[in-house]
Amino acid sequence: MTHIRAMIDAHPKGLDEFNKAKLAECIAACFECAQTCTACADACLSEEMVAELVTCIGTDLDCADICATTGNVLSRHAGYNGTVTRALLEACRAACRACAEECDKHADMHDHCQVCAEACRRCEQACADLLTSLDEGAEQQ
């Protein structure tokens, strides 16, 4: 069991609106993606052709910030707001999709862009899975 899941299980609120496994996976994917995108932006800045990577760097940094924020909000449950959570998950999916598409343009030349695109796709899917589980939970209530 990860520390993320242990904290979810230990939360006194119960978190009945969430599939706890999908929540833990999404939080982990968000934080991993944030780190990977930050590292990719840094690697892009170290490339000789940095001028050609300006869009990639900006997209990496935007995605990193959105993923970190999403992971942070998903980690807080006091005062839970489903509308905000869903909006953040949608924004995170969009940022991850855009970053993966941008990194794919450079993946043949830069391994760090390939790694970043993969992390973004994983996070995009984890956000989609959590959204689906939230929607299914709302239907059951």
Report the number of distinct structural domains present in the chain: 1
Confidence class for position 126, pLDDT limits 50, 70, 90: very high
Q: Residue range 24-46: average pLDDT?
A: 98
Residue 139 has pLDDT above 70, yes or no: no
Q: Which two tokens stand for residue 115?
A: 């790694």
What's this model's pTM, rounded to 2 decimal places? 0.94
- Assign residue 97 the CATH number of its domain: 1.20.1270.360
Predicted pLDDT at 78: 82
Q: How many residues does the chain have?
A: 141
| pLDDT of 68 over the 60 cut | yes
Better-scored residue on pLDDT, 80 or 116: 116
User: Residues 86-121, buried b or exposed e (16+ Cβ, 10 A)?
Assistant: eebbeebbebbbbbbebbbebbeebebbbbbbbbbb
For residue 140, the model assigns a pLDDT of 59
* pLDDT at residue 136, as a whole number: 80
Report the alpha-carbon angle 78-123-37, nearest 5: 105
If you compute the radius of gyration of the chain from its CA atoms, what whole number of angstroms results? 16
Instruction: Look at 5-9, 95-99, 104-108, 119-123 and tell me which has the smallest mean pLDDT.
Output: 5-9
Q: How far apart are CA 50 and CA 116, in angstroms?
A: 17
Query: What range defines the domain where residue 67 resides?
Result: 3-10+19-140
pLDDT at position 141 over 60: no
Confidence of residue 28 (pLDDT cuts 50, 70, 90): very high
